[in-house]
Amino acid sequence: MNKVNNPDDFDVDDLRRKVSELRARGDEPATSTVLNPFARQIAEQFRETSHSPAMLIGQFRLIEFGLMLAVGLGGELVFGGANSNSIPFLLRLFILGFGSALTVLLLQLADAYQIPALRAATRSIKRVVGSWVIGFLLTILFLHLFGMGLPSAIGTISWFVVGAIVLVVERQAIAFGIRNWARNGTMERRAVIVGGGEPAKQFVRALEQQPDNDIRICGIFDDRGGDRSPTVVAGYPKLGTFDELLEFARLARIDMLIIALPATAEQRILQLLRKLWVLPVDIRLAAHADRLRFRPRSYSHVGEVPMFDIFDKPIRDWDSVAKRIFDIGFSLVAIALLWPIMLAAAIAVKINSKGPIIFRQKRHGFNNEIIEVLKFRSMYTDLGDATAIKAVTKGDPRVTPVGRFLRKSSIDELPQLFNVLKGELSLVGPRPHAVSAQTGERKYVDVVEGYFARHRVKPGVTGWAQINGLRGELDSDDKIRARTAYDLDYIENWSLLFDLKILFLTPIRLLNTDNAY
């Protein structure tokens, strides 16, 4: 075990790099571990998705912006006078929107959107009202400097007075809601402690002392037994081994894994991360007991309890909302434009051979869940292979004449737009593979150790690997390794602009049908 004697010898970025090197070198097959009944029972209790504080705080900002804007418009409608009528409605709307947005910005700068401030609404009244007063006065100053004038005097005064009252009352309602959501588990970050014994006990005790703690510990996992890792640590049960943790995290909606090991135990941490990085969760290293101190950006805090940020969940919180809006919007447009092609394909499939128009296949989705992906049927019904154990090859006799055209043109994939609307797929992401898909005699997961890391995000109708030539048959170990590498590159560098680039390039790259059978 490597020891760290100097803070300069240990770096979180260096740790991530070492994990990447271990992943790249690893060639042992991934194993599947059956979860023990007690841990499975606990996992079932956390199947429902919780609401992260970041998402709720974002919603509070939108609510307060909308309330301030609504109060201003209401004042104009009720009290608006001649001066109001002389100003175009869109300009009045801009003035009120500017003041509302400025207030939200000031509330953010005053830390009024922190959980402690939201929970203790009475103690934060001064900063809330103060932000509203400053925002209102700056709006008046802005209008005066640009000679725009006020919508109406009475309407403006009513906006100021009623807006302050609404903010105070609304904040009391939010505080009441937060206290209730914290009690019933609606607003929490669910965490699992990795590693038991005294370090885990100290970390849990420190966490429980924080008044603004939003972390709910679901259990502890550790390979050790006996005194070094008892069955109950600080009141929380040990649910199983590290291998069982992988299955637990796929069943339960876990947000965070916290490794309760000293930073000096670098080799053991690396071994753990080599197993755990494939999960779509935040991975943190407890740092409360370490005397070493590193760059501030390496830490996150719960109250005063520090943790090293090792890995972050990809496409999280508002990024996931933006991607979902992107998916729904573009899918609806695609269906509206492509429905004649889809109708013609359905008719051709039905006329060409007996059997259903739609082929349904079980594939791996987000977090390794099993989803049913839709395609136009391209094979004879009695020769079809829903398991995809035998990949389709060039000139495959199982493929119908119509199916051969549909597969080459990728028209057979168009029904997956409805999978996108259902939320099972994304428009762009790693392509979902059939559960039993394999190359030669080996499943993909046995070829690439980090294969399941592809499932840290929703799979896609098209992806970065496909537009880089890795479309169609995966008949060699090198091809599945290359596709996985492109998929992981997409996950690490995701952005909406990246998605747009892939969508734009997809129809162009479909002209290359070399590997599409």
pLDDT at 153: 72
* Half-sphere exposure at residue 388, Cβ-oriented, CA atoms within 13 angstroms: 21
Furthest-apart CA pair in the chain: how many Å? 82
pLDDT tens-digit profile of 84-108? 445 667 777 788 888 899 999 999 8
Residue appearing with tokens 């640009």: 146
Return the number of other C-beta atoms located less than 10 Å from residue 400's C-beta.
21
For the chain, the 3-state helix, strand and coil shares in percent, each to the nearest 5, are: 55, 15, 35
CB neighbour list of residue 415: distance below 8 Å, 6 or more residues apart: 342, 358, 374, 375, 376
pTM for this entry: 0.75
Which part of the chain is CATH 3.40.50.720? 7-50+188-313
Token pair recorded at residue 27: 């060639």
Residue appearing with tokens 């593979």: 433
Residue appearing with tokens 């004649």: 340
- Residue 331: pLDDT band with limits 50, 70, 90: very high
CB neighbour list of residue 126: distance below 8 Å, 6 or more residues apart: none
Tell me what the mean pLDDT of segment 201-209 comes to. 85
CA nearest neighbour of 40 among 346, 309, 192, 244: 244
pLDDT tens-digit profile of 40-86? 888 888 877 767 777 788 888 999 999 988 988 887 777 654 444 45
Is-contact 230 238, C-beta < 8 A? yes
pLDDT at 30: 47
| Distance (Å, whole) CA 404 – CA 360 | 18
pLDDT tens-digit profile of 309-329? 888 888 887 888 889 999 999
pLDDT at 6: 42
Q: What is the share, in percent, of the chain residues with pLDDT greater than 70?
A: 81
CB neighbour list of residue 77: distance below 8 Å, 6 or more residues apart: none
Tell me what the mean pLDDT of segment 175-189 comes to. 76
CATH 3.40.50.720 fits 7-50+188-313, yes or no: yes
- Residue 270: pLDDT band with limits 50, 70, 90: confident
The β-bridge partners of 194 are: 221, 259
| Distance (Å, whole) CA 251 – CA 241 | 15
